[in-house]
């Protein structure tokens, strides 16, 4: 069993994660593509992509950073990896 699509809704907005192929997912917010996530990406690259998605979900502070902790960003990363099939 695998999850084909998921929507994460937070105080800052919504992020939709859709499975493209085994090991790949497309992360969007409305009509804007945030990133394409693949298992070939390194750990730091995957975290950076999840950080951009977390900015949408949790909103940003006055300096443009995600308004959440690293644990919250890891939760977003976990959900993206779950949909991608990582």
pLDDT at 11 over 90: no
Count of structural domains within the chain: 1
Task: Give the pLDDT score at 62.
Answer: 93
Task: Give the pLDDT score at 14.
Answer: 94
Query: Across the beta sheet with 14-21, what order do the strands follow?
Result: 5-9, 14-21, 24-29, 32-38
- The model's pLDDT over 31-68, given as tens digits with 9 standing for 90+, comes to 999 999 998 999 999 999 999 999 999 999 999 999 98
The residue among 85, 73, 76, 61 whose CA lies nearest residue 15 is 76
For residue 80, give its domain range.
Answer: 5-84
């Amino acid at each position: 069993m695998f999850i084909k699509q998921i929507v994460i809704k937070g105080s800052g907005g919504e992020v939709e994660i859709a499975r493209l192929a085994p090991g790949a997912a497309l992360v969007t917010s409305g009509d804007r593509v945030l990133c394409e996530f693949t298992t070939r990406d390194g750990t730091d690259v995957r975290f950076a992509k999840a950080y951009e998605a977390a900015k949408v979900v949790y909103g940003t502070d006055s300096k443009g950073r995600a308004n959440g902790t690293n644990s919250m960003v890891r939760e977003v990363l976990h959900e993206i990896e779950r949909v991608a099939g990582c």
